[in-house]
Amino acid sequence: MRRRILYIAMVLALLYLNAMYNWDEGKWFLAVVLAAPLVEFLFLIFAAWNTRADFFIRPGKEVVTKGDEVFLEWKMSGPFSKYLEGIKVQWRESVSFGRKKGKKKSMKVPAGRANSISVKVIWSGHLKMEVLKYSFTGPVGLIRIRKKTNVQEKIVVLPKQMPVQVEGGFQKTETLLDSSEYSKVKPGDDPAEIFDVRPYRYGDKISRIHWKITAREDELYVKEFSLPISASMALLIEKDEEIKTGERADAFYTLLASVVLGLVERGEPFFVAWNLQEKGMNRFLVSDEESCYTMLFAFLDEELFSITNDAERIWKETYPGDDCRFLVLTEGLHIKAGGEERIKFDQNNLEEKLEGWVLEL
C-alpha cells in the first residue's frame, strides 16, 4: 500500500511539472512511470507460471489443546521465486459444531519474514483448516497476482479441562460373562482375550503354554487371559438443543472433559456413550487417563449435529444386559440423573462455575 501511494504521488508530481513548466524531458519520465505497472504485471504473469508454492499445516504440538498454535507454512520454488514479495495467504477454519463452513481469514507476511503464519486455536473440537488462496507482488509492489490452492488438514483440539470434585461412588463389576471390555491392570480367566505373555512359573497350567513363542524363544512361555469388566454407571451424551456457535460447542466440550476427568479420578470404571443418527450408539469403557483421552479424541472427531436425544432408551435397547445408573450430559449444558435435572450451566461463566462445583453421584 505504501508503494502504491508513493507511485500515485510520483505520477501526480510528474503530471503537475509537465503541465506547469512544459517540461519536455519529463514526458519520457512520465511514460516510463506509467508503463511500470504493465511491465510488473507481465513479469508476475510469467513468474507465477514458473513458480510453485507448497503449503503445509502443522500443529505446534503432538496433542493440540485450546489456546495452542497451528502453523501454516509454505515453500516457494522456481527461478523467479526470490523476486516475489508481499506474500498474502487466505485460509478458512471450520469446527464440527455445525454444517456451516467457517469464515475466511487472510494475513499478509511482510518482506523478510519466515515463510510461516501462526494461528491461535480459539475453539476446541474437530478443526478443519484449509488454505484457499495465496497472492504475491513483484519487486515494484504495484500489482498483486492471486493463485488458488487446495490444502487442508483435520486436527482434533482438546478442550480446556477444569477440576471437578466428585462425591459418592459407583461399584466396579468384574464378571465371568461375555464382555467386550477387559481390565488393563489385572489378568483373569477369559480365553477370548490375552492379557499378557510371560515366562513359565511353577504351578502354571500346561494348557496355557504359548507354543509358538516357546518354540521361537526355546523357553516355556504361558498366556495370561483377560478379566472381563463392566461398570455400574454410564455417562450418556445427548442433544436437547442445537449448537449454533463455536462458543457453545467449546463450552460443551469443556464441560464434558471436566466431568469425565473428575470421574476418572475416582479410580472406578464407567461407560461413556452417545448415539449418532446413522452410525448408532458408540460406547467406551473409561477406567484411566489413557482410556479417557481415547474416548475424548473419538468424541471430538464426531459431528455434533448428528448426535440424537433419548440416549437412555437407546442404551437399554442396544445393551439390554447392562443395568447401569445413568448420568446424562446434554448439548444444552444440562446434567441430569434419575430423570431429573441436577444443574444447568451458562456458557458465559462455565469455567467459574466448575471451579467450585461438586458432582454428587
Domain of 96?
Answer: 70-157
> What pLDDT is stored for residue 230 in this prediction?
66
> Does 40 map to a domain?
no
| Model pLDDT for residues 61-109, shown as the tens digit of each residue | 778 888 898 888 888 888 877 777 778 888 888 776 555 566 778 887 7
User: Do 320 and 342 share a structural domain?
Assistant: yes
User: Do 148 and 262 share a structural domain?
Assistant: no
User: Do 294 and 334 share a structural domain?
Assistant: yes
> Does 351 map to a domain?
yes
> Does 30 map to a domain?
no
| Model pLDDT for residues 208-218, shown as the tens digit of each residue | 888 788 888 88
> Does 13 map to a domain?
no
User: Do 294 and 199 share a structural domain?
Assistant: no
User: Do 275 and 347 share a structural domain?
Assistant: yes
* Largest pairwise CA distance in the chain: 114
User: Do 351 and 236 share a structural domain?
Assistant: yes
> What pLDDT is stored for residue 176 in this prediction?
41
> Does 51 map to a domain?
no
Reply yes or no on whether the pLDDT at 173 is more than 70. no
156 and 129 Cβ atoms separated by less than 8 Å: no
User: Do 347 and 244 share a structural domain?
Assistant: yes
User: Do 104 and 220 share a structural domain?
Assistant: no
Reply yes or no on whether the pLDDT at 175 is more than 50. no
> Does 190 map to a domain?
yes
User: Do 261 and 219 share a structural domain?
Assistant: no
Going by pLDDT thresholds of 50, 70 and 90, the confidence category of residue 177 is: very low
Q: Return the number of other C-beta atoms located less than 10 Å from residue 200's C-beta.
A: 15
| Model pLDDT for residues 233-246, shown as the tens digit of each residue | 899 999 887 777 77
Model pTM score: 0.69
> Does 55 map to a domain?
no
**Total tally of structural domains belonging to the chain:** 3
* DSSP sequence for 159-183: PP----EEES---EEE-SS--S-EE
User: Do 353 and 258 share a structural domain?
Assistant: yes
User: Do 296 and 224 share a structural domain?
Assistant: no
Grid cell 448439548 is found at 331
Reply yes or no on whether the pLDDT at 305 is more than 90. no
The mean pLDDT value of the chain amounts to 81
User: Do 205 and 88 share a structural domain?
Assistant: no
> Does 11 map to a domain?
no
Q: How far apart are CA 306 and CA 98, in angstroms?
A: 9
